[in-house]
Amino acid sequence: MIGNRINPLANRPSAELLDRMRVLPVANISDVMARLEAGGPRIRPLHTGGALCGPAFTVKTRPGDNLFVHHALDLAEPGDVLVVDGGGDLTNALMGEMMLAYAEKRGLAGVVLNGAMRDYGYIRANSFPVYAAGITHRGPYKNGPGEINVPVAFDGMVISPGGIMVGDDDGVVCVPLDHALATVEAAEKKQSAERRQMEAILEGTNDRSWVQQAIANI
């Protein structure tokens, strides 16, 4: 029944694929996915440094309630990214210092929260990846309902359980598992091309003729 589903995370990407994805800029991944996937500008990094990469262990909860977030922390496996859809509501913080310390102790790769965090000083002082839509001191309720490992969506970006969450200073993106290999290959090519372009910029040899050509074609 909707409202109480607790599903296992059946599919996880290989360690090799995650290692390749982890070193790629989120912007490059976004570009090769046609710039159609984005979790919205509110989902921002709160931690100090530290890249995010791992399969999404998703939670859908009633705004202001974190009972199923607690349950997910006990079920997720090392390397998973806890992805919580709290409806984008910022009235109550769904996680804070103690829950994040527990997540890190259990070996999770990070947390992405469509909702509010608290204990910002703790988060900011650490490198454990934390992305959220806001901050508030007001705490949560623990009554449910909620669901675990069901598809969720942040500003139109659909996150299915097991999809690869990648985050850096620019925000987060979810790469669907079925498209992960093609995406990483395309993003690697783009990153190589951008390195060559940067070298040309620094050497003063970059070709800017495309600008005038584009203007002429307007």
Q: What is the pLDDT of residues 148-169, one digit of tens each?
A: 999 999 998 999 999 999 999 9
Q: What is the pLDDT of residue 3?
A: 82
Give domain limits for the chain.
4-216
- 50 versus 110: the higher-pLDDT residue is 110
Q: Which of 190, 194, 131, 164 is closest to 57 using CA atoms?
A: 164
Q: What mean pLDDT, rounded, does the chain reach?
A: 95
Read off φ and ψ for residue 139, nearest 5 degrees: -80, 175
Q: What is the pLDDT of residue 164?
A: 98
Verify cis geometry, omega within 30 degrees of 0, for the bond prior to 78. Answer: no
- Assess contact for 18 and 167: CB atoms under 8 A: no
What is the reported pTM?
A: 0.94
Q: What is the pLDDT of residue 4?
A: 87
Quote the DSSP letter at residue 163.
P
Q: What is the mean pLDDT of residues 1-20?
A: 92
Residues 6+ apart with CB under 8 A from 50: 110, 127, 128, 129
Quote the DSSP letter at residue 178.
G
Binding residues for substrate, as ranges, are: 96-99, 118
Q: What is the pLDDT of residue 37?
A: 87
Distance separating alpha carbons of residues 17 and 136, to the nearest angstrom: 36
- Bridge-based pairing state of the strands 157-159 and 152-154: antiparallel
Q: What is the pLDDT of residue 38?
A: 87
Architecture of domain 4-216: 3-Layer(bba) Sandwich (3.50)
Q: What is the mean pLDDT of residues 126-152?
A: 97
Q: What is the pLDDT of residues 61-75, one digit of tens each?
A: 999 999 999 999 999
Q: Which two tokens stand for residue 86?
A: 């709290």
Q: What is the pLDDT of residue 49?
A: 85
Binding residues for Mg(2+), as ranges, are: 119
Q: Which of 105, 68, 97, 99 is closest to 84 using CA atoms?
A: 68
Q: Which two tokens stand for residue 190?
A: 């783009």
Radius of gyration of the chain from its Cα atoms, rounded to whole angstroms:
19
Distance separating alpha carbons of residues 200 and 82, to the nearest angstrom: 40
Distances (CA, A) of 141 to 66, 69, 116: 6, 11, 13
Q: Is residue 12 predicted with pLDDT exceeding 80?
A: yes
Q: Which two tokens stand for residue 20?
A: 């390749």
Q: What is the mean pLDDT of residues 13-35?
A: 96
Q: What is the pLDDT of residue 40?
A: 86
Strand residue runs (E) in the chain: 44-45, 52-61, 81-85, 93-95, 110-117, 130-135, 146-148, 152-154, 157-159, 164-168, 171-175
Binding residues, as ranges, are: 96-99, 118-119
